[in-house]
Amino acid sequence: MRATWDIFCSVVDNYGDIGVTWRLARQLVAEHGLAVRLWVDDLQAFVRLCPQADAQVLRQTQQGVEVCLWRQDWQATEPADVVIEAFACELPAAYVEAMAQRLNRPLWLNLEYLSAEEWVEGCHGLPSLQSNGLSKFFFFPGFTPGSGGLLRERELLTQRRAFQVDDCARDDFLCSLGVEPMAGALMISLFAYENAALGSWLQVLAAGLQRIQLLVPEGRILRSLQSWLGGMVLQPGDIRQRGQLHIHVLPFMSQEQYDRLLWSCDFNAVRGEDSFIRAQWAGRPLLWHIYEQADNTHLEKLDAFLRLYKEGLSADAQRALVELWHAWNNGQAIDKSWEKMLQSWPQQHEHAEEWCLQQASQADLAAALVQFYQNWL
């Protein structure tokens, strides 16, 4: 009998919670042949990432995953063999009770947020005894062998490389989004939270020597973009030009399309957790807008990642990268650091691919979870 897995996702805000759990659920089904239910408390958010889904039904199967609405009034449900609570969401009390009563007790995992901080390795995989006698294990994604790794589908890099060497595939894809690639243009994607630094970047892009196509899927950054453009309301499909800068507003797309967008661009500005990882798998230089936390703890996380990522770059290239990421995440002007970044451009490109290969040499998160379960049995 194939093992059953329940993944619980509470959508706090944005798309990271559902983005990570939906991706994980699909991979557990497709690559490990598991029976997976994904419990999500906000189907509207799910439908944005999986447009063919129905936000009105209680249960539906999408890409082999049984997607269930996690309702406030929880209905009795037989727990699965493996139960994942994503990002410390609180499971229904009746479900936890049923887990404790189950003849074969389930493996209970808390899938944590991504961090490159050193303490992660020490906490990854640790159990915590719960009042009902069950142990809950902490599972930490991460960038080092002592962590749980990163979500990466088996064929991802092969698909990405095939796409990146096929100019027609890229052009067709961009055209399907309403973007006509311009000769010699530098293609940049932009997915970020509202950011006061944006204006300084757009300014330097508009005034630069090279033509730029900036591709912006619908989202929070549109507010900053609109105010730079003088308050005009932007819609998907809109194109605006300022000097060398051509801005294309795109619809929010499926996760598969968003991957292709990242693969199509020379540089990707990303945010949160999942788009940040996907940009790394794209093998292209990136700019991370980290999710803001109280007491600036997010800035420590940012530096922890930079410490790992910048290794192997020349001192100048490291400085350019760190300055750019710091300024962007502090809402400070990035025009100078962007120009420094351009000076080390070929190196930044090579490095992004090397980093991607280095990360891909580690076990992926889904495989690590399956292995963890097998070891636990």
- Catalytic pick from 17, 41, 112, 274? 17
If binding is defined by CB under 6 A, does position 137 make contact with ligand TRH?
Answer: no
Stretch that binds ligand TRH, among 1-9, 161-169, 274-282, 305-313 (CB under 6 A): 274-282
Nearer to ligand TRH, 83 or 86 (CB): 86
Could you please report the per-residue DSSP string of 75-105?
PP----SEEEEETTPPPPHHHHHHHHH-SSP
CB 244 within 8 A of CB 235: no
Distance of closest approach, residue 189 Cβ to ligand TRH, in angstroms: 8
Residues with Cβ within 8 Å of residue 155, at least 6 apart in sequence: none
Express the helix, strand and coil content of the chain in percent, nearest 5 each: 45, 20, 40
If binding is defined by CB under 6 A, does position 88 make contact with ligand TRH?
Answer: no
Which CA distances in Å does 357 have to 146, 282, 364?
Answer: 18, 11, 13
If binding is defined by CB under 6 A, does position 113 make contact with ligand TRH?
Answer: yes
Helices 345-360 & 335-343 angle (0-180, nearest 10) = 80
The residue within the footprint of ligand TRH, chosen from 13, 90, 167, 295 (CB under 6 A), is 13
| 273 classed as catalytic | yes
Question: Any bridge partners for residue 5, and if so which?
Answer: 36, 82
Nearer to ligand TRH, 77 or 255 (CB): 255
Sign of the CA dihedral 148, 151, 154, 158?
Answer: negative
If binding is defined by CB under 6 A, does position 85 make contact with ligand TRH?
Answer: no
For the window 176-195, what string marks contact with ligand TRH as x by the rule CB under 6 A? ---------------x----
- Catalytic pick from 112, 259, 273, 274? 273
If binding is defined by CB under 6 A, does position 141 make contact with ligand TRH?
Answer: no
CB 190 within 8 A of CB 284: no
The residue within the footprint of ligand TRH, chosen from 116, 197, 212, 253 (CB under 6 A), is 253
Burial class (CB in 10 A: 0-12, 13-18, 19+), 156: middle
Distance of closest approach, residue 271 Cβ to ligand TRH, in angstroms: 5
If binding is defined by CB under 6 A, does position 8 make contact with ligand TRH?
Answer: no
Structure tokens, 52: 């063919």
The residue within the footprint of ligand TRH, chosen from 15, 39, 46, 309 (CB under 6 A), is 15
Number of residues that bind ligand TRH (CB under 6 A): 24
Q: Which residues bind ligand TRH (CB under 6 A)?
A: 12-17, 19, 49, 113, 191, 217, 219, 252-255, 258, 271-276, 291
**Looking at the annotation, which residues are catalytic?**
17, 273
